A and B are shown apart, each in its own frame.
Chain A
């Protein structure tokens, strides 16, 4: 149980096996495709819509390349997903971020992806050849998103673009710090509440009664203004 707790706390820092890492990349690409397609539906600019959908198609193709020959997450003992719930759940919400921030995010993410894929290509050796196509596409993604941001600058939104890029670069570190603080506060609150439960609530358990078996009357009103 302690090992499970430690793993949960430091999950992101663990180096995955090659199979798990490729599967993680595949999942990220697949969810990215979903989010890009959703954004394409919402943007007004036909050129932007086309770029987003083309990008989404690339992501789908990448997921297929990465998944080929790699074990299913369940076979890796990782449940249904390698990257866990967070990416699948939160994804990249165009409506929340807005066009500028969304494009800035994708631009920076693709830059990081190029770097990460290069690292993994070196680590994978002969197996890394499958990442060639992906790397070419990712470089193209960096280019088109950069061009999209330049278009926004040309349209007089340069300050907005620069602010978004700046904020996102800082946000990674800010989020990491917040995550650490959240984990620390979680540990503190866990300790505090455990002490409350064991030391303070103990005597009240005598008043709590036992489980009620059998049919009970529904005494409460179906609807209340009080909560």
Chain B
């Protein structure tokens, strides 16, 4: 059976292809369209998946969309009615968007792919998250907790394996609450949440008690937002009410200097989010008795919270798939559809490299035809290690590009983690982003236990850089740590990433630390690079010293 799973229309459109239960390809649309968080129908990503499998759309048995448009319309309509007459703007925009476009998803898919309409099916949004979270994990059985902004109605859902237990409904949402504070702190929603998480470590949770004025927690682990303080449910241009500002002060305008109050607010909302997730996870364990936990939904990408669940929670192990947000729900939808009337299939991920590969012949042709000066090296790992040990910053493109928002050694910018000046140069001259943003390390898996204080379990989460840990000796790799000495570490295994593992090994031989700073290869506001052209044009527009694409090395032009 060949099943194509798709997600999109609000953010992070993606496609995932299963052939006889095996994952063959996965890609986010943004990597092809070059539009960050591209929400449009993932036609390019779908075309890539089909090419990768050597098939056409005519070969597809099913096309699974990751949510149910009618159910979403129900939520939109009822919300507009429940907030009448305040939601005129929200109602207007939603009707144009839903009735004018999103409701006709079957037609869109049929027209775009040329498939029989009877082959198109619709999976629930949170069901897709849950199927991806459990299906991509190495666990045969686990408790599953999905937390996001909102799907159709659900904002939080709990599962005993594949069996649903319960859900919390809009507008009571951890994801939306976090996004409100993201906007309040002057960052872009669906993009700036990571910045809030990073900023949190630099503040104190002085507003933690104040948060109790906007959210009420209940004995059964659920919570309700005190909706009178919010506007996101009825006004697309304003997320909070004036009473919200009475509690937290004036919002920070985008680009304005970050003050202590902003850092403290970030720390407070981060602490609340961690408490809520920890509590939900603990109750789920008490109810199911499961010793493993899978997390799904966009909030699962809050790696600080995941790290805390690993350290303080009751589970032996926790897994978060690398594309835990809406992109990953494409895989979940495919797994559900492939399972038919039974439980969703499983497709455990040993690695995240499911995107398009680099063809050495095509890369060479691009470089030669374009008159780009380059060298071909026998061993890119050794070449890169030598440069990194000298303090160079490198663009690194190897193999198939990765799924999810994190670079995992396939499309990365690499640097020496020993030098703090490197971090500053990376933020200022390469990534052109705020100085407070931390970087993350990739380390050889064998070295991780002596570099970091590791909790019980978590190895699977650390493979995909989805949990934070604390460094044993921050002076060893200061450029790869946050101000509080923690790191969102990626543990690299030779069996799944041989070239990257060898690079780390060679770096270790030269510096004593088999680790690098690993950040995504892209400019601010652009998606991670995918093809040789993306890498080359991005390389030119940054302060990177050299670019390695497969075995080809390019130096910065004089």
Seen from chain A, the residues whose Cβ lies within 8 Å of a Cβ on chain B are 30, 33-34, 36-38, 40-41, 46, 49-50, 52-54, 56-57, 60, 63, 72-75, 77, 79-81, 88-91, 189-190, 193-194, 197-198, 201-202, 204-205, 207-218, 220-227
Contact = CB atoms under 8 A, between A and B. Distances in A.
B255 A218 contact: no
A217 B88 contact: no
B220 A214 contact: yes
B537 A213 contact: no
B369 A63 contact: no
Contacts of B540: 33, 56-57, 60
Contacts of B368: 46
Interface of B: 34-36, 38, 64-65, 68-71, 78, 80-82, 84-85, 87-88, 91-92, 95-96, 103, 105-106, 118, 120-124, 126-127, 131, 153-154, 157, 164-172, 188, 218, 220, 222, 224, 227, 253-255, 336-337, 344, 362, 366, 368-372, 524-526, 531-534, 536-538, 540-541, 557
A188 B121 CA distance: 35
18 contacts: A33-B537, A37-B533, A40-B370, A53-B536, A56-B537, A74-B254, A77-B253, A79-B255, A90-B35, A197-B85, A197-B88, A197-B91, A213-B224, A218-B166, A220-B124, A222-B336, A223-B64, A227-B69
10 closest A-B pairs by beta carbon, nearest first, are A74-B255, A53-B370, A208-B81, A37-B537, A218-B164, A49-B369, A222-B127, A41-B533, A215-B166, A205-B84
A213 B122 contact: no
B84 A209 contact: no
Contacts of A216: 153-154, 166-169
Nearest to A49: B369
A51 B386 CA distance: 33
Contacts of A52: 370
Contacts of B91: 193, 197, 201
A36 to B, nearest CB: 8
B188 A223 contact: no
Given A74-B254, A88-B35, A197-B84, A80 B366 contact: no
Does more than half of chain A's interface fall in helix, strand or loop, or is it mixed?
helix
A217 B170 CA distance: 14
A38 B64 contact: no
A205 B88 CA distance: 13
B370 A215 contact: no
Contact of A197 (B36, B87, B118, B123): B87
Contacts of A40: 366, 369-370, 533
Contacts of B85: 197-198, 202
B81 A38 contact: no
A8 to B, nearest CB: 11
- Quick one: which of A36, A202, A220 has the most chain B CB within 10 A? A220
B369 A209 contact: no
B536 A37 contact: yes
B541 A30 contact: yes
A208 B78 contact: yes
Does more than half of chain B's interface fall in helix, strand or loop, or is it mixed?
mixed
B255 A72 contact: yes
Contacts of A214: 168, 218, 220, 222, 224
Contacts of A46: 368-369
A180 B188 CA distance: 28
Nearest to A202: B84
A49 B366 contact: yes
Nearest to A224: B122
B537 A34 contact: yes
A88 B34 CA distance: 8
A182 B532 CA distance: 38
Contacts of B70: 226-227
Given A75-B255, A216-B153, 16 more contacts: A34-B537, A38-B531, A50-B371, A80-B525, A197-B80, A197-B87, A208-B82, A211-B82, A215-B167, A218-B124, A218-B127, A223-B64, A223-B122, A227-B65, A227-B68, A227-B69
B80 to A, nearest CB: 7
B214 to A, nearest CB: 15
A32 to B, nearest CB: 10
Contacts of A223: 64, 121-124, 127, 336-337
Contact of B534 (A38, A198, A209, A213): A38
A209 B96 contact: no
A198 B89 CA distance: 11
B444 to A, nearest CB: 33
- Quick one: which of A88, A190, A218, A223 has the most chain B CB within 10 A? A223
Contacts of B524: 80
A88 B524 CA distance: 12
Contacts of B87: 197
Contacts of A79: 254-255
A34 to B, nearest CB: 5
B525 A81 contact: yes
Contacts of A88: 35-36, 525-526
Contacts of A190: 92
Contacts of B122: 223-227
A206 to B, nearest CB: 9
A128 B505 CA distance: 52
B235 to A, nearest CB: 11
B220 A204 contact: no
Contact of A63 (B168, B170, B541): B541
A213 B170 CA distance: 9
Given A41-B531, A63-B541, A216-B168, A194 B123 contact: no
Contact of B172 (A38, A49, A89, A211): A211
B18 to A, nearest CB: 14
Nearest to B535: A37
Contacts of A212: 169
Given A34-B537, A80-B188, A209 B78 contact: yes
Nearest to B83: A205
A60 B523 CA distance: 13
Contacts of A60: 537, 540-541
Given A201-B80, A223-B337, A193 B167 contact: no
A38 B68 contact: no
- Quick one: which of A33, A50, A215 has the most chain B CB within 10 A? A215
A208 B83 CA distance: 10
A36 B157 CA distance: 45
- Quick one: which of A33, A197, A205 has the most chain B CB within 10 A? A197
Nearest to B186: A74
Contact of A218 (B120, B167, B220): B167
